[in-house]
A and B are shown apart, each in its own frame.
Chain A
Amino acid sequence: MTNAFLTGADAPTDMPLKRRLKRAERARQVEALALVLPLLAFLLFTFLGPIAGMLWRSVDDWEVRQVLPHTVAALADWDGKDLPDEQAYAALADDILAARAAGTIAVAAKRLNYALTGFRTILASTARNLKAAPDPGTAKETLGKINLAWRERAAWAAIKGAGGPMTSFYLLAALDLTRNVDGAIVAAPLDQAIYRDVFARTFIISFGVTALCLILGFPVAYLLATLPPRRSNLLIILVLLPFWTSLLVRTCAWIVLLQSNGVVNHSLRWLGIIDEPLRLIYNRFGVYVAMTHVLLPFMILPLYSSMKAISPAYMRAAASLGAPPVTAFLRIYLPQTLPGIGAGSLLVFILALGYYITPALVGGGADQMISYFIALYTTETANWGLASALGAVLLLATLLLGVVYGKLVHGQQVIGGMKN
């Protein structure tokens, strides 16, 4: 049927057009793929790879397995009800001697210290005092004498728990959970259970900042979109100006403005509005102010571009059909800005989730967001397992929110561009 349209030199050999089209299509796809290949490779190396590595680190448990292999093997069948048998003690003595010779004691000690505070000392003192392999049958006695901890179940449970190859320890810790000596999942001790609060705080601050940006940014974007170009261009430069200043400088400027003897407090006192300086910084207020300021352009620009695309004729049409200004705004204008609101909110919210420097500089002790803890464990205490687990939980929570957002948007069928 299709062949009927083809004549002359273009006439088919005997391949149907559909297949030829497909072939041409495929060639184009390969070409397109080749063009984006460098980008894909780049993303793989710099983005997906590290994320996969991070996720892996949050469950990877190699330290004890590598340093105390025989002990881990000997404990494989241990039921955890009583102290392990002589064989496990002998294996531990062998492993410790070997590890001391190889200089790897610290690697295992660090991991075990997470499970049981004080393990670093236990292992170090045992390694120092264990001169040679104990005679057969005396390992239990010898180790028990060197350090009383070897007469407790807790130390052995810690080794077994950290025996790998994979662990839920870090992920549980990131959710304020832990395993007790019998292996059951229980709530972490009250004075160490902080991460649920920190996650909640992170999301609350991010939501708050997003809402503030929207409230402040919407009128600005509207003004920019409706002014004649010459004047709006000038204003856009003002909006963009902060982009060209370092984040640190902007944050420090807020310190200068908001501190007790800062510009704001001085002015208020000079005007006689307050007697005592207000506490405007090193608390949640300072965090909201500084973060909103830093993130505002990310809200204004998407809003501006969606508003710019709205023809003024729509509002005039609504008015001519008898809609009062408020109704016209709510039913005609606002729905058309939803793509911009969605894009801006998502951008601001996700950027806010990862904020670290700003809360660290203008926040108090109770205003640190999750990135602060991730950075702390990554660089300072080098507890990469916990840092990765916190990162994984944050990633998951963000993805979930993204899915919810996508569903909402999809349901409304308004934001066509966002889904792609």
Chain B
Amino acid sequence: MLKLKVALGLAATFTAGALATAAQARDLTVVSWGGAYQDAQKKVYFEPFKKAAGILMNDESWDGGIGVLRAKVQGGAATWDVVQVESEELAVGCEEGLFEKIDYAKIGGEATYLPPSVNPCGVGAILYDFVLGYDKDKLKDAPKGWADFFDTKKYPGKRSLRQGPKTTLEIALIADGVAPKDVYKVLAADEGVERAFKKLDTIKNDIVWWKAGAQPPQLLASGEVAMTSVYNGRIDAANKNEKKNFGMVWDGALYTLDSWVILKGSSNKDGAYKFLDFVGKAENQAKLSENIAYGTSNRDAAALLQPAVLKDLPTAPDNMKNAVEINVAFWLENIDRLTERFNKWAAK
């Protein structure tokens, strides 16, 4: 029996010890999306912030998913403070109360930011596009848009799209002649969904599905695919850092906005606001765009950039002209149903 008591006592001590450690103060933890993007952030945001504010800060990376955030917040003692989230996660997390309401007075006031990036639960981080990417060295005759993406006669070779219905259905409809601004109107009806899948049928055997944002540039580099949907910044980074000669098509691009949020119950709220204030400043955001071609949220950031940098950003007027914003409300409502539909189609 003595041994039992000792064992129980030890177990209790360990548990108490573990709990005590978890409750101790942590360094401010900022979570972003890894890869070339987080490298750029490290250079222009994280390291300078640590020096300027004198705050200890860690950065981690994640691959998104509202389930992850929910588990973090509802599990208690979340180990993350500031997280960069996609627009859907922002909307759902805000509805579910997973994020602190942003006090804009602490980060320069709402007027500092472009209107679409001001949300009660989060402040805009970057604006970026899904564009058509290709290798200029391999395709001499540059494709003009998604219609060419589906033209396997003119452009032989495989294609790559993001696995799942989101972005895939939009791209199929645009390729089928739907004006980008009408895509979600068409997709709302069952016939629209049918039409998209019918269009996808035409290249079904040539599609390689990608899952992580780092995959499309690799697929292009290895020559596995002739064209792919890809985040515009990754093409830019591959050209800059790996001396690739990739091209992209802005016509019919799908854009979306990522935001910074503070997780509910964060124990580093002061540090978090200092961080958000730092990365909200125009001069800091301009440096980010110079390092990776994403648009930013501060009103004055664009004015600080050279025209050569500006023209490659998603926010450049020419690039915005025929782009469509990914419709958060539509996908929140339909993602489960269309994911099932998509997988049914994929398995056929």
Contacts and interface: CB of A to CB of B under 8 A. Distances in A.
A113 B337 CA distance: 10
Interface in B123-147: none
A365 interface: yes
Nearest to A119: B333
Nearest to A35: B3
Interface string A367-387: 010000100111111111010
B56 interface: no
Given A259-B224, A382-B67, A30 B346 contact: no
B223 interface: yes
A360 B211 contact: yes
Interface stretch (B90-98, B111-119, B316-324): B90-98
A41 interface: yes
A376 B336 CA distance: 10
Interface range for B: 35 or more
Interface stretch (A51-59, A146-154, A189-197): A189-197
A204 interface: no
B178 interface: no
A378 B67 CA distance: 6
B23 interface: no
Contacts of B339: 376, 381
A38 B7 contact: yes
Contacts of A194: 340, 343-344, 347
Interface string A86-108: 00000000000000000101110
Contact of A120 (B11, B97, B209, B332): B332
A379 B224 CA distance: 29
Query: Which of A33, A379, A383 gathers the greatest number of chain B CB atoms within 10 Å?
Result: A379
B343 A191 contact: no
Given A193-B344, A194-B344, A261-B224, A381 B336 contact: yes
B337 A192 contact: yes
A172 interface: no
A117 B67 contact: no
A106 to B, nearest CB: 3
Given A117-B334, A260-B158, A103 B97 contact: yes
Contacts of B329: 121
Nearest to B331: A381
A44 to B, nearest CB: 11
A287 B209 CA distance: 14
B7 A282 contact: no
A295 to B, nearest CB: 22
B341 A384 contact: no
A34 interface: yes
Contact of B96 (A107, A191, A262): A107
Contacts of B66: 379-382
Contacts of A118: 333
B335 interface: yes
A31 interface: yes
B218 to A, nearest CB: 9
B67 A384 contact: yes
A261 B223 contact: yes
A222 interface: no
A382 B92 contact: yes
A78 interface: no
Contact of A379 (B10, B68, B158, B343): B68
Contacts of A253: none
B20 interface: no
A365 B163 contact: yes
A282 B67 contact: no
B65 A34 contact: no
Given A194-B343, A194-B347, A259-B222, A121 B70 contact: no
B64 interface: yes
Contacts of B342: 365
Contacts of B335: 380-381
A191 B333 CA distance: 17
Contacts of A103: 95, 97
Interface string B63-102: 0111110100000000000000000000010011100000
A191 B193 CA distance: 11
A360 B343 CA distance: 13
B280 to A, nearest CB: 26
Contacts of A365: 163, 207, 209, 342-343, 346-347
B22 interface: no
A105 B92 CA distance: 11
A383 B11 CA distance: 35
Query: Which of A118, A191, A373, A386 gathers the greatest number of chain B CB atoms within 10 Å?
Result: A191
B25 interface: no
Contacts of A381: 66-67, 335-336, 339
Interface in A340-373: 360-361, 364-366, 368, 373
B1 interface: yes
Contacts of B211: 360-361
A386 B335 CA distance: 14
Given A261-B222, A360-B211, A381-B336, A191 B341 contact: yes
Nearest to B343: A194
Nearest to B69: A382
B208 interface: yes
Contacts of A395: none
B189 interface: no
A383 B348 CA distance: 25
B308 interface: no
Contacts of A329: none
Contact of A364 (B97, B209, B341): B209
A37 B97 contact: no
A114 interface: yes
A38 B7 CA distance: 7
18 contacts: A30-B1, A31-B3, A35-B3, A38-B10, A106-B92, A113-B336, A194-B340, A282-B209, A364-B346, A365-B342, A366-B347, A379-B64, A379-B66, A379-B67, A379-B68, A380-B335, A381-B66, A382-B65
Q: State the 8 A-B residue pairs at the shortest beta-carbon distance, nearest first.
A: A365-B346, A106-B95, A379-B65, A34-B4, A379-B67, A192-B340, A366-B347, A382-B67
Interface of A: 30-31, 33-35, 37-38, 41, 103, 105-107, 109-110, 113-114, 117-118, 120-121, 190-194, 197-198, 201, 259-262, 282, 360-361, 364-366, 368, 373, 376-384, 386
